[in-house]
Structure 1
Amino acid sequence: MKRTLIIVIVIFFISGCKVTSTKDAKISFALETKESLEKYLSTNNLNYEKNHLYTLKDIRTFAEFNAQDKLSLPQVLFFKKNGKQVKNVFNHNECTNIISDFNQINDLKIDESALLFKELLDKIKPLYSNKVKDDMISVVIFYGKYVSSHKSINNQSFEWYEEVSKVDKNDVNILLVSLDVMQNWNLSKETKESIGIE
């Protein structure tokens, strides 16, 4: 049963690789809250677990992600049990290193220049509680309300989330991370204006 589910996930990822990216979409930032994010997920009929929901930590992290072109969507990252990121998996519409079994992630090449999982955890914060366990494979899926005008972008992220969520939660850490600007960052008027928020 578990092997069949993994194969279904792989087929789903392969078929979902040809999607529009944020480079083609109109971007419109707004200040978001926990409630606005949950409403957005519910409006998109996403069956999510609250302990999977995360946001960027602060405006510095947002600026860092922007400077490194990490606000581009859809995006999913896979981390080995040792916390190292697998190289070139499903990002920027490149379907390389297709994963047929989550346990094989530990055998794939790592991206030496990428963040370690624990470093990524320092840049995000849970909307509810942090249920991340050490020494587990981790899947981090990003979405952003700022690309709502191009629904297929977030739909791809949500489809990935739904498929990964079918895996035994004792085997995989699953994080669904909003890349949106958060109201609780308490931004100055100048900062809001610089990113197009009135």
Structure 2
Amino acid sequence: MQIAFLVAPQGVEEIELTEPWQAVLDSGDTPHLISTRPDDIQAYDHLEKADTFPVDRTVGAAKVGDYVGLVLPGGVANPDALRMDKAAVKFVKGFFDAGKPVAAICHAPWTLIEADVVRGRTLTSWPSLQTDIRNAGGTWVDEQVKVCTARPNTLITSRKPGDLEAFCSTFLSEFSQAVQRV
């Protein structure tokens, strides 16, 4: 399985990128780093610069059909930048339109809100997003991981880095089930 990870050029929370990325590798699947620019992306450990990572494809060159699912890591700046990029928002919406699973952690639901895919869904996030989610027509819950199977696809959300183990195992299971249904 090829799994897309969409991140902005700066601001992704490093652990929310690297732990899910490693989980995908450990499962024998292939992660692809998608960004709005072709250069390396700059990750952060909260507000401090951390490592950089090479981009595999720009969002303009990436095709939803090439991937079984999408992972949206958090960090505050990452989803804020992505929701301001029309091509990134269109890419995210494309997974919902295609009925493919999406996994989002921490602040990543901001990008989902911008893509207008939260209405009628139940999800979790970093607590400060609960009003944004409700205003977008979603239901916010304070749970380690929330799987919402409202059609047309499955949405897996999680709150914070402390939830990463559960988040990774859940999204990998849901992505595998999606492949089996096809």
Name the TM-score class by shorter chain: under 0.3
Report the TM-score, using the length of structure 2 for normalisation.
0.27
Report the TM-score, using the length of structure 1 for normalisation.
0.26
Larger Cα-atom Rg: 1
More strand by share: 2
With CA pairs under 8 Å and 6+ residues apart, which has the higher RCO, 1 or 2? 1
